[in-house]
Structure 1
């Protein structure tokens, strides 16, 4: 990307933040939510690189051990995500998010201590990775359900776009600096910074003070079935989730295992890999800014089409292309990926009734993450068996085939943008309640 192109991108992002979101930035609760997320994501930017290289630095560590630790982090997200959705629909979502941040802080603090003291038994690292995954399982469905409680329905896409622009900017900074931090002071301090960011996020999220949720007496199984009915009754929803099941699995394998392996073997190690993943984060900033301005009459169709570029980094990594070319591919994938994320989140928040939104979101996340642990677990052994290049080429093929299959759905192609009066009334009611409380 040329200097002029980068300057134009940054100017566009700044104009989007100021002009499109001026009213939102004056909303106290939206600012608290955005601040909590950006700080937490900044720490995660450090942790994403640091965790992989802290494991690889263990005596006798290799692709298999890295796959095991990352799979232990990913598996609880899958196992507990449905429970997280039910809990989020039963209690204050902001309180649940703060509790989850506390759990995440404990996990990453433990990982940081073990890495810094160089006493890191593999079993204990796996256990703390499980705790970190549990925190995500509790946090994610609540976060998806909080946004429509904070902003009205006509600002959902703008709010989701601005949130992702803010968080992606911090992710970019974290990833851009992570390679330097890992190389200079070690992975342990990067993990410690992530733990601190979780603590700050918990404090800010706790100050949202969303109203208590009226809950009908019902069993866990009844709540899960109600969410399942809402999920399966919409073809566009479960078809795209099925697509994401395949795409997320191979993308997780690429970012978590196969990409770092190629970087370590052929591209110069942690610094080169941090450049590549930082390029993706920069693309995500641009993609979120673009998504704020997109007025798609068929948002699900546009979102699915935006999945194709995810195959590009896998193709270039498979042939050990120059770092700048892989970074350019990850930039394009980042742009397209956040167009998908913003359009998809906004569509869910408009189309799904608020009282079951976290449960439906949990089924969305459950389906999307279903094969992610498997992808992480088998990536190392497959790379050892057939080589990283063929494994990455196979991942690219999975992305293309899954996306073409999703486009075969009539509802994916036909669903049109709508505004939900249910969500608008809920957000307005909550806003009025907060004013009274103040």
Structure 2
């Protein structure tokens, strides 16, 4: 059903708001997500097949996140100075080189742990520049009135790629080995870089009143003055850590021992993507008034995959839990993106996004690194149960914040910026 004021090109059936730049952005994102979802499985099994332990899988996964944490703030400041599409294209080129080298290493035989960790870290460093730039570029390719549809369609495209990539990646890892999956991902990054380099959004006049440090300080002031923003970021610092450890470390190991290996695990991972697609379709139609309250409630199902893995549930039940988690993630993600674009000045968005990402992933390297030792000390199942409990407890704590419960979508009776700021105050996932 079309909404008022929306028309379609009769030749392409593409809505008018989805212009050339938005289509280029979606195409590039589809390609990189398709390759990355398979490459995530491939990297874990490259470590396992080289004789690595759970701790080794965690170390390689943590290397990417650690590098991302180190460079995120610099990446945010650069993305508020340089055209964002150029930052993203350059980051894609670096990712292509690092994945190509990783593929060559695996295909050449006998890859060393430090080599795999180093190449993964290069990819994480590139993502530190890519991610803050990407947060601001979606809005720049569409009119403000179409932001909700654009965010939903953008994420729907990425999540559709995640479904195909996870299922195909798991099958390819099982069939031809992880090295070739990494090689395909490298080629995809180069294609995405070419597409993003063609995006020609208008340059925003960003007045720079000082150096990088001054701009980062201004971004921090913007971030810290909003309790809904830093509260949710603190929540995700832990949630992303425990969920990431469950999916990157425990999941592949439990799948190998109890579920049949990479193929079934790829199916379970694809179920998350199916859930996000369902959630995306839901959010195209649904316009909840209290976007953060609804979004935060969507985080509750993230406890289900850890619980299913703790029970060594069959693939169908694990997949159901991951499907529900995917739906919840998408409900949260659309509301979160709308809140950021609605409340944060555009010229500071990449810096605020960098603080968002920094906080949201800050615990992931630690969680990845200690995942193996924690399972050895406490046991795999108790550690996974602890992860599920943490998700629920932290989500409940965030719901106690008044700003999270009150922030409303613009046009539903609350103007942008109407969320009260904490007394004495001078905003990922």
TM-score (norm 1): 0.89
Partner of 2:291: 299
CA distance in 2, matches of 1:126, 1:179: 21
Partner of 1:247: 239
| Separation in structure 2 between the aligned mates of residue 24 and residue 305 of structure 1, nearest angstrom | 33
The residue that corresponds to 2:270 in the other structure is: 278
Match of 2:398 among 400, 406, 416: 406
CA-to-aligned-CA distance 1:142-169 (integer Å, 9 cap, x gap): 0001111111111111111101111111
SS at match of 2:199: coil
Q: Is the 8 A contact 1:78 1:370 kept in 2?
A: yes
Q: Deviations over 1:276-326 (max 9, x none)?
A: 101011111111111122211110111101000000111111010111001
Give the Cα separation in 2 of the matches to 1:413 and 1:336.
17
Aligned length: 405
The alpha-carbon deviation at position 211 of structure 1 amounts to 3.6
Q: Distance in 1 between matches of 2:18 and 2:404?
A: 35
**Aligned counterpart for 2:185 among listed residues 186, 194, 209:** 194
Aligned positions of 1:356-375 closer than 5 A: 356-375=348-367
State the shift of 1:347 in Å.
1.3
User: Following superposition of structure 1 onto structure 2, how do residues 60-75 of structure 1 map, counting pairs within 5 Å?
Assistant: 61-75=52-66
3-state SS in 2 of match to 1:23: coil
Deviation of 1:351 (Å): 1.1
Structure-2 change in CA distance of 1:152 and 1:25 (3 Å): closer
Look up the SS of the partner of 1:216 in the other structure: coil
Q: CA deviation at 1:421?
A: 10
Assess, with a 3 A threshold, how the Cα gap between structure 1 residues 421 and 149 changes in structure 2: closer, same or farther: farther
- Contact kept? 1:85, 1:362, Cα under 8 Å: yes
Structure 1 residue runs of 5 or longer lacking an equivalent are 1-10, 12-17, 423-438
Match of 1:123 among 109, 114, 118: 114
Q: Select which of 126, 129, 133 maps to 1:135.
A: 126
Which of residues 342, 346, 367 in structure 2 aligns to 1:350?
Answer: 342
Residue 316 of structure 1 is aligned with which of 304, 308, 320?
Answer: 308
Contact 2:18 2:142 (8 Å CA) reproduced = no
Q: Counterpart of 1:340? A: 332
How far, CA to CA, are the matches of 2:404 and 2:208 in structure 1?
A: 33
**8 Å CA contact retained: 1:141, 1:362:** yes
CA distance in 1 between counterparts of 2:58 and 2:237 reads 18
Q: CA deviation at 1:106?
A: 0.7
Q: Distance in 1 between matches of 2:213 and 2:20?
A: 37
- Quote the offset at 1:131 in angstroms: 0.4
Show CA shifts across 1:199-229 (max 9, x none).
0000000000234444425111100110001
Indicate how the Cα distance of structure 1 residues 135 and 188 shifts in structure 2: closer, same or farther if over 3 A, else same: same
Judge conservation of contact 2:21–2:201 (CA < 8 Å) in 1.
no
**1:253-274 deviation line (CA, Å, top 9, x unaligned):** 1111011121112111111111
1:191 deviates by 0.4
Other-structure match for 1:174:
165
2:101 pairs with one of 110, 115, 123 = 110
What is the aligned partner in structure 2 of residue 6 from structure 1?
none
Does the aligned pair in 1 maintain the 2:17–2:143 contact within 8 Å? no
Question: Aligned equivalents of 1:133 and 1:42: distance in 2?
Answer: 17
Following superposition, the deviation at residue 26 of structure 1 comes to 4.5
Residues of 2 paired with 1:385 and 1:276: CA distance? 27
Of 177, 195, 198 in structure 2, the residue corresponding to residue 207 of structure 1 is 198
Asked if the contact 2:307–2:385 (Cα under 8 Å) also holds between the matched residues in 1, the reply is yes
2:427 alignment partner in structure 1:
none
* Kept in 1: contact 2:104–2:179 (CA 8 A): yes
Aligned to 1:381: 373
User: Is the 1:298–1:417 contact (alpha carbons within 8 Å) kept by the matching residues of 2?
Assistant: yes
The offset of 1:345, in angstroms, is 0.8
C-alpha deviations, 1:16-75, integer Å up to 9, x for none?
xx99x942574101100000100111111210110100110113x111111111100111
Q: Which moved more, 1:67-76 or 1:413-422?
A: 413-422
1:62-102 residue CA offsets vs partner (Å, 9 max, x unmatched): 11111111100111111111111100000100000000000
Contact 1:179/1:274 (8 A) holds in 2: yes
Contact 1:228-1:360 at 8 Å conserved across structures? yes
> Residues 394-433 of structure 1 correspond to what in structure 2 (within 5 A)?
394-418=386-410
Distance in structure 1 (CA, Å) of the matches to 2:17 and 2:106? 39
Separation in structure 1 between the aligned mates of residue 42 and residue 415 of structure 2, nearest angstrom: 44
